[in-house]
Amino acid sequence: MKKNIVILGSTGSIGKITLNIIRKDKKKFKIKLLSTNTNLSLVIKQAKEFNVKNIIITNLSKYNYAIKNYYKLKINFYYSFDILDKLFSEKNIFYSMVSIVGIDGLAPSLKLIRYSKNIAIVNKESIICGWSLIKKKLKNHKTRFIPVDSEHFSIFSLMNTLDYSNIDQIFITASGGPFFKFSKKQIQHVKIKEALKHPNWKMGKKISIDSATMMNKVFEVIEAKNIFSISYKNIKILTHPKSYIHSIVKEHNGLIKILIHEPNMMIPIHNSIYLDNQKKIITKNINLDYLNNLELCEIDINKFPLVNILKLMPNYNSLYETVLLTINDFFVSKFLDKKITYVELINFINKFSFNRHFLTFRRKYVRNLKEIYQTRDYVYFKLNSLGI
- pLDDT score of 177 more than 90: no
Q: Per-domain residue ranges for the chain?
A: 3-147, 150-312, 318-388
Class of domain 3-147: alpha beta
Q: Which residues of 285-322 are buried (b: 16+ CB within 10 A; e: fewer)?
A: eeeeebeeebeeeebeeebbebbebbeebeeebbbbbb
- pLDDT score of 161 more than 80: no
Q: Which comes out higher in pLDDT, residue 47 or 200?
A: 47
Residue 151: the pLDDT is 92
Residue 187: the pLDDT is 79
Question: Rounded distance, CA 35 to CA 12, Å?
Answer: 10
Question: Rounded distance, CA 132 to CA 19, Å?
Answer: 30
36: burial class by Cβ within 10 Å (0-12, 13-18, 19+)?
buried
Specify whether the CB–CB gap between 168 and 256 falls below 8 A.
Answer: no
Specify whether the CB–CB gap between 144 and 169 falls below 8 A.
Answer: no
- Could you tell me which residues come within 8 angstroms of residue 305 by beta carbon, excluding any fewer than 6 positions away? 346, 350
Mean pLDDT across the chain, nearest whole number? 92
Question: Rounded distance, CA 90 to CA 139, Å?
Answer: 14
Residue 367: the pLDDT is 94
Residue 302: the pLDDT is 86
Contacts 24+ apart (CB under 8 A), 22-28: 22/50, 22/273, 23/49, 23/50, 25/279, 26/50, 27/2, 28/2, 28/3
Question: Rounded distance, CA 141 to CA 121, Å?
Answer: 16
What would the mean pLDDT of 320-333 be, rounded to a whole number? 97
DSSP H/E element including 337: none
Q: Confirm whether pTM is higher than 0.95.
A: no
- The strands making up 297-298's β-sheet, listed across from edge to edge, are 256-260, 245-251, 167-174, 235-239, 297-298
Residue type, 46: Q
Percent over 70 (pLDDT), the chain: 98
- pLDDT score of 382 more than 80: yes
Please, which residues bridge with residue 297 across strands? 239
Q: What is the 3-state secondary structure (H, E, C) of 181-204?
A: CCCHHHHCCCCHHHHCCCCCCCCC
pLDDT digits (tens, 9 = 90+) for 233-268: 999 999 998 889 999 999 999 999 999 998 899 999
- pLDDT score of 198 more than 80: no
DSSP H/E element including 225: helix 215-228
